[in-house]
Structure 1
């Protein structure tokens, strides 16, 4: 049976190969281990294998895991990567380090207001619905600049870049083309806002190579690290 450590090594090897294929430095791509539906012990196993950044789609599950792993908290980086409702912003602002799924000003304002003053700024990405998927969260590309300007001006938040979860594509070339649209949008936002946006959160277990080829700086990988997930409670969420 393959261990978490071995699976992490395999994912890191995929990242290195993908970077080498496009002339990129592997150090420029971070691995976010998506631990949704897996318990604290799975995170401990990954931690023991050297992983430090973890992503959670479901707020309450993430909060429970953060509490259960309190002894490791100074060494862990927790990312909220799922859709965020207004009534969940306070615990996210208080407990998480990153939020990838900001797609409207109200959510950003609440995160800014509720981020404790004693903590570093909450690192945030705007989620962009790059291909118009009917069931996907995210700001439209056309509205992204206006939202980015407003979010960048909020205290206690640091706007880092963009996140996207494109619809499944028929082949790698089509995957790269959609991811490239996100990368192009990030360049336009950097030029328009004058901000050093440095994060492109895109690519998961099935398509991380295509995302890296298009410029991803953070891939969100769950299945390839932790294995298949139970269908109950996770059926509506895309596989990471």
Structure 2
């Protein structure tokens, strides 16, 4: 398994670098986040053995079981929460994750601020936008993004780094990546977490600083 995963990781890194150079960008400006949710332990260890140190998880409890003990043993490990966060788990999330990518509402902002004060840390966050305005999906809709960004900056002591989105499956992702980049630019935000296994090269072309790749590294998860 180690050799297969190492080969897949190398392929993804090469494709990111190629897309970056084609867009006139420095490949080192793009961070690969390996999406480790629901992956078996041998696959996670294989990616770690291949040198990957940035990982994305969807759920706090699952991530705690996978990464809590590894934290002390793996210098340079960087964990990003890329799934919805319940307000009552803000304390646990801040204790484990380096960055919360899915800030999308005032209640969660207040919970993270309170958790940060108790822990003596300044939460590092991205705001998730629902660029497709899908009712079943979390995220701030684009027409409310500027107001929400301004409110977060005014009311909370966060390290607000940028924006994140997950485009609708049935739509061309490029227009969603372009929209996210425009909103970030006019608000002076640099980090753009966008692009997954099927479209990360397009995301790089539109300015992604972080791409979230799962199946292209690990293969499809069992059960879908």
Matched residues in 2 for 1:151 and 1:188: separation?
16
The RMSD of aligned alpha carbons is 1.9
Q: Unaligned stretches of 5+ in structure 1?
A: 191-196, 236-240
Q: What is the rounded CA distance, in whole Å, between the counterparts of 2:53 and 2:117 in structure 1? A: 23
**What is the TM-score when the length of structure 1 is the normalising length?**
0.86
Query: Which consecutive unaligned segments of at least 5 residues does structure 2 have?
Result: none
What SS does the corresponding residue of 2:85 show, helix, strand or coil?
A: coil
1:221 equivalent to 2:213? Answer yes
How far off is 1:87 after superposition? 1.8
Q: Per the alignment, do residues 119 and 223 of structure 1 end up closer, same or farther by CA in structure 2, a change over 3 Å counting?
A: farther
Matched, 1:184 2:185: no
SS of equivalent residue, structure 2 residue 84: coil
Paired residues of 1:7 and 1:225 also in contact (CA < 8 A): yes
Counterpart for residue 198 of structure 1: 190
Partner of 2:164: 163
For residues 26-64 of structure 1, give each alpha carbon's deviation from its aligned partner in whole angstroms, at most 9, with x where no partner exists.
111110000000144433322221111100011110111
Q: Secondary structure at the match of 1:75?
A: coil
1:78 aligned residue: 79
Per-residue CA deviation, residues 83-140 of structure 1 (Å, 9 max, x unaligned), is 1111221100221111111000111221121126666532210000112123211001
Where does residue 122 of structure 1 map in the other structure? 123
The 2-side partners of 1:212 and 1:224 are apart by 16
CA contact (8 A) 2:88 2:111 kept: no
Partner of 2:201: 209
